[in-house]
Amino acid sequence: MTNDTPNKIADVANISPIIKDKAPAILAEVKKAKSILLCCHPSPDPDSVGSCLAMKFALESLGKKATVIKGDSDIPEAFMHFPGADQIVKKNFFEINQKEFDLFMVLDLNALDRISLLAPVAISSTMDLVMIDHHQPKPAITNVSLIESTYPATCQILYDLFVEWNVNIDANIASNLFIGMYTDTGGFKYRGTSAATYKIASALVDIIPDFTQLISKMENSGVPADIAFYGKAFTNIKTFLGGHLALSSVSHTDLVALGIADTGMKVSGTSSRMCAVADWYIVGALTEIEVGKIKCSFRSKDAVKYDVSILTQSFGGGGHKSAAGVMITGTMDEVEEKIVARAKELYNL
């Protein structure tokens, strides 16, 4: 980015008591560690990548060795201009030697079984564990767990955490924090976005005056296959429950015919765009990424009445009240039928 001059972060908003309480304990874990591991979550979004990279730069400023691995999925090309993205090690969790690290910082995840979907995750006794996330808490065995579900993005939690740690922020950290906050709030419009979110974003863009390019490169780095995917997804929309539940479907056969090997952010992109229809209270984008394995992304028009995290949790997934996801096995017809039945039961539609 254009501004490489370190800047001390200002405390621009009231910091959560949870963060204030946990910050010293997490810093103590960092101080006693020599080599720290960070891992992007499966199908990483900018909050996952941005939080890992921002933490990496912050840890290095504290004199620590920090390594970010890509995890299950490749980092989308649309994110490769994030500062530090070229330093992400192209390994999943099972391809590393855990004995090389003495601290594992799990970011933007609320459960250890979400670190990888490739196989069950076992954490070596050589590594201490710290978890930092903004999703609804789940039981986790860690040295320190900081879950602040009132915050709309993990990157916003990290901003306040860095304030507590008295970290000096530069354009590299600011860029990654900003892009994570921007995307997980849907461009600062999802429920949970607060005045504090805007104040923090303002403080960050003061450090990265070319922040519009950071957004533009991410949002305008698509390929023709993206348009083909959205065309198929929007063509295959069905409505249920009085027209208030809308489900889009893209089969594995469709993906093969379109020559799409990586759905990337397109599934969540589909559900986000479907929210534009006024009478669709709940929308879902269903994509059969492998035969019989369907990735589902849901959005809610009114998260108070229609909390989609409850829907996804009932199938073993998770997420937020207004945006959540899950992987469901079965045929497309079977999965649609399950979703409709569960939505009818949960939301009385």
In order of 184, 246, 249, 262, 329, the CA distances from 288 in angstroms are: 24, 17, 8, 11, 9
- 142 Cβ neighbours under 8 A, 6+ residues apart: 106, 129, 130, 131
Structure tokens at 180: 């994570």
pLDDT at 3 over 60: no
SS percent in the chain: helix, strand, coil, step 5: 40, 20, 40
- pLDDT tens digits, residue range 15-29? 999 999 999 999 999
- pLDDT tens digits, residue range 292-338? 999 999 999 898 899 999 999 999 888 888 888 999 999 999 999 99
Q: Specify the pTM.
A: 0.88
Give the integer Cα–Cα distance in Å for 343 and 302: 14
pLDDT of residue 189: 86
pLDDT category, 87, cuts 50, 70, 90?
Answer: very high
pLDDT of residue 191: 80
Please answer whether residues 177 and 204 qualify as being in contact, where contact means their C-beta atoms are separated by less than 8 angstroms: yes
Q: In terms of DSSP H, where are the helices of the chain?
A: 17-32, 46-61, 154-165, 171-184, 195-207, 211-219, 224-235, 252-258, 266-274, 308-313, 332-347
Find out if CATH 3.40.50.300 is the number for domain 7-219.
no
- pLDDT tens digits, residue range 154-203? 999 999 999 999 999 999 999 999 999 999 998 998 888 999 999 999 99
Structure tokens at 133: 């996330």
- pLDDT tens digits, residue range 89-121? 999 999 999 999 999 999 999 888 889 989 999
> Residue 288 — φ and ψ, nearest 5°?
-85, 90
Q: Which segments of the chain belong to CATH 3.90.1640.10? A: 7-219
CA 56 to chain centre: 17
CA 170 to chain centre: 23
Q: Which segments of the chain belong to CATH 3.10.310.30? A: 224-347
| Interhelix angle 171-184/211-219, nearest 10 degrees | 50
For residues 64-87, average pLDDT: 96
Find out if CATH 3.10.310.30 is the number for domain 224-347.
yes
